[in-house]
Structure 1
Amino acid sequence: MIRTSIGAAIAAALTAVTLSASVSAEGLSASQRNSHWFSEAQDRLQQAAQVEINNKRGAAKNVILFIGDGMGISTVTGARILAGQMQGQTGEEYQLSFEKMPFAGLIKTYNTNQQTPDSAGTASALMSGVKTKAGFIGVDESVARGDCKAGLEHPLTTALELAEARGKATGIISTARITHATPAATFAKVPERDWEYKAPQGCRDIAAQLVAMPVGDGIDVIMGGGRRGFLPADVTDLEGAAGKREDGRNLVSEWQKRYGNNAVYIEDRAGFDKLDSKATNKLLGLFQPSHMRYESDRSNDKAGEPSLSEMTAKGIELLNRDKDGYFLMVEGGRIDHGHHAGNAYNALHDAVEFAKAVQVAMDKTDPKDTLIIVTADHSHTFTIAGYPTRGNPILGKVVSNDERGEPMKTPQLAADGKPYTTVGYANGPGFADLGKQTDSDARMNAPVGAGRVDLTEVDTQAPGYFQEALIVSEGETHGGEDVGIWARGPGSQLLSGTHEQNYVFHVMAHAGGLLPGR
């Protein structure tokens, strides 16, 4: 007993000496002092502590709102990893452009009548400061959907319109149709988002409202898709697509007539490349009959079209000529469409391009006079799951770690003996039917995973692969969770924390001085 006690005491003393030798004067172990994780976090802390805060009203001469349509937190994470892996990194440690902004928070996205929202109601909340119903654009929640007369009586004024009224330049850029829900929410007032080129008698469709915009001198820079909504049905565009208007109006011609010789209309890559910024007072660029192409497929467009980052660069160049400043809304519209199709490849690649567009804006503006906000209108049912090893391709099959914590040689198998992907969807067209059995009892008694495709020989990183989904639906749906928001410039600190979606408008109005006396 005595010898055992003496041995234990000696061992404890030796351990204490060893520990004390590894601890610095600051109380840190050598392992901490030598860790790049530790030193990098210390550097980040110092940078954050030096960020200047300017919450004064009107301090932002310019306001740029970036909306990644459908860019939920999981999409940001997936795009971050993909972007890093595209540059030869493991990906997890990478940061997208807007993730480097000094302030971030969360935004609650529900509509007034829906727990999981749609883009019309969410974009209207962002642009007007008032939450409203799903399907509503620039109209408050008090009316019934599709009620033309009531919609006219309950309009909402937008941040873009306030900027126009104060003499600022304005712009909207999107990879979706310019009459689609999010871009339309900057200027239109309709109780039905589908009135893009046709509305009930007594109301004007969204395209017509854009051309006839009564506030200020009209929007200065417009770029996106959606030519068909501006052309009559008997007119064919340069890509061979007919217009959709049944009223015979050619809104492109009407727009050109309204703004005169220095108003430039373009519809292809050649027109974009020939733009003379000094000779262009107004710009209308409609690059597709419907939505613009996915970024990964953009080079296949026969007429050619610019990328979102290129449109952003040109838009800022044009708007920056106004000495009073500008308001610009930029939407990565096809992130959402990739998710609806159950195709993570397109959704994530478009999100990476969206981040490039944000970087362009950061490079071309001064944080002392320009507020840049990056957020999403809503999320999706997109998930990142399994236990893939670090650096595993984000679009690939799950390759996990062995008992020693080292990467395995082959993909992890699910309970059905088949490999599975890291990313997937809670619902969508990627659902695999259990042997085409529709009877509920047959489904209950079917072997586990009987309907899943064996992915062993399938290239899940290919552009045309559609991820598996838990529940069958024609198209994948939105998600209802909060989305992130990131900001830089005057007023950006006001977005820290968790807020209602309509709060974003109030920050923009305050920082940009858009509401007199407030």
Structure 2
Amino acid sequence: MPAEAVAAGCADIARQLVEMRYGDGLEVAMGGGRANFMPIDTPDVEYGDAAKKQGRRKDGKDLTKAWLDRYGEKGAYVWNKEQFAAIDPAKTDHLLGLFEPSHMQYEHDRPKDKAGEPSLAEMAEKSIDILSRNPEGYVLLVEGGRIDHASHESNAYRTLSDAAAMNEAVKAVLRKVNLDETLIVVTGDHSHTLTMAGYAKRGNPILGISVGVDDEPIYGTDGKTYTTIGFANGPGGYKQPKERPMLTTEETTKPDFVQHSLVPLSSETHGGEDLGIYAIGPWAHLFQGTVEENYTFHVMNFASKIGERLKAKSQQ
């Protein structure tokens, strides 16, 4: 953290997750970022000293131990798929899962992880199994954060495969909850510059080059093929006088293909259009028309009556 933040007594996010004083703390926190919970230069439990994947904490704290010390037999810390699968939600009140030193694997790459990582859907299901034991209800945030990262890399393959993983997580949640008493809200915090264009025929591979109804490739004015999906800017841009290459669907559907961009940048940027807010369950009808992003919180707060509950408890 910045020196002024430390001097002001601020706690970093990892400490906030472990030391939270509201109620008896967080029930569930899972994802990546393991290095931020471990003392500096501590070899990572999964990778050892490889690729400089050591702890990053300068205060000497092992926050995974702090989590276990705080919750005792009611708490658990896991860092791989086998440990995650062994967790009994009926006996675990507080679960911390840290499956990578930094970001978790993209969905496409997750099966190749030697230690194993649970999917977003699996983490959502396990979270609900733990949280739903509370008769007063719960709030669960599930983020498909690597959709954003793949977009910044102009890699549509991983952008879409991680979006599909998020879709599977939503479906898993729908199977687990009672929609008579559970509000589900799905939205994003911003868009990207991903575009879809080209008059490709129906059924043409979304990652392929644009092919017309005559089954012939569609060409740009430079005589080159182009993909249906592109990005307005990003690492796929071409600097003059370098020319765009001729593309084939075999090439563009590979996982590592970087979509072409209009403006060359080291990292693709966010976009500016409005996002959809999709909701189902009690008070979902309050999402109508165009609203400010912070409105989402106010609907959730109203539907859950959290504010009323906190006020009532403070008056007891």
TM category, shorter: over 0.9
1:246 is aligned to: 58
1:232 aligns with 2:39: yes
Q: Give the count of matched residue pairs.
A: 304
Give the superposition deviation at 1:427: 0.6
Whole-angstrom distance in 2 between the partners of 1:274 and 1:213: 26
Change (3 A) 1:457 1:372: closer
Q: 1:368 to 1:408 in 2, by over 3 A?
A: same
Asked if residue 347 in structure 1 is aligned to residue 159 in structure 2, the reply is yes
Where in structure 2 are the equivalents of 1:155-304 lying within 5 Å?
Answer: 199=6, 202-239=9-46, 240=48, 241-304=53-116
Question: 1:432, CA displacement in angstroms?
Answer: 1.6
Report sequence identity in percent.
Answer: 49
User: 1:477 matched to which residue of 2?
Assistant: 269
Structure 1 Cα separation of the partners of residues 271 and 82 of structure 2: 39
Aligned match for 2:228, one of 411, 417, 422: 422
Q: Is the 8 A contact 2:208 2:248 kept in 1?
A: no
Q: 1:211 & 1:298 partners in 2: Cα distance?
A: 26
SS across alignment from 2:183: strand
Which residue of the partner structure matches residue 171 of structure 2? 359
Residue 467 (structure 1) aligns with: 259
Tell me the amino acid that sits aligned with residue 297 of structure 2: F
2:235, 2:105 → 1: CA distance?
Answer: 20
Answering whether residue 202 of structure 2 is matched by residue 390 of structure 1, we say yes
Structure 2 partner of 1:487:
279
Q: Residue 208 of structure 2 contacts residue 249 of structure 2 at CA under 8 Å; is this kept in 1?
A: no
Structure that is richer in strand per residue: 1
The one-letter code of the counterpart of 1:483 is L
Residues 1:377 and 2:189 are matched in the alignment? yes
In the alignment, the residues of structure 1 paired with residue 218 and residue 7 of structure 2 have an alpha-carbon distance, to the nearest angstrom, of 56
- Aligned AA for 2:145? G
- Structure 1 unaligned segments of length 5 or more: list them: 1-145, 150-198, 401-406, 436-449
Could you tell me whether the CA contact under 8 Å between 1:227 and 1:289 is conserved in 2? yes
Segments of structure 2 that go 5 or more residues without pairing to the other structure are: 312-316
Change (3 A) 1:361 1:457: closer
CA contact (8 A) 1:418 1:456 kept: no
User: Which residue of the other structure, out of 338, 348, 355, is the alignment partner of 2:150?
Assistant: 338
- Give the SS at the match of 2:95: strand
> Cα distance, 1:358 vs. partner?
0.3
Alpha-carbon distance in structure 2 between the residues aligned to 1:147 and 1:332 = 31
**C-alpha RMSD over aligned residues:** 1.6
C-alpha distance in structure 2 between counterparts of 1:202 and 1:283, whole Å: 27
1:431 paired to 2:244: no
**Deviation at 1:410?**
2.2
Structure 1 residue 148: Cα displacement: 4.9
CA distance in 2, matches of 1:266, 1:243: 16
Q: 2-side partners of 1:380 and 1:147: how far apart? A: 33
**Equivalent-residue separation in structure 2 for 1:432 and 1:200 (angstroms):** 46
1:161 aligned residue: none
The answer to whether the aligner puts 1:412 opposite 2:224 as a matched pair is no
1:373-426 CA-partner distances (Å, limit 9, x unpaired) = 0001100000001111111111000012xxxxxx12221011011100000101
Amino acid at match of 2:99: F
TM-score, normalized by length of structure 1? Answer: 0.57
AA partner of residue 207 (structure 1)? A
Distance apart, 1:202 and its partner CA = 2.8
Map 1:4-23 to 2 at 5 A: none
Give secondary structure in 2 for the equivalent of 1:284: strand
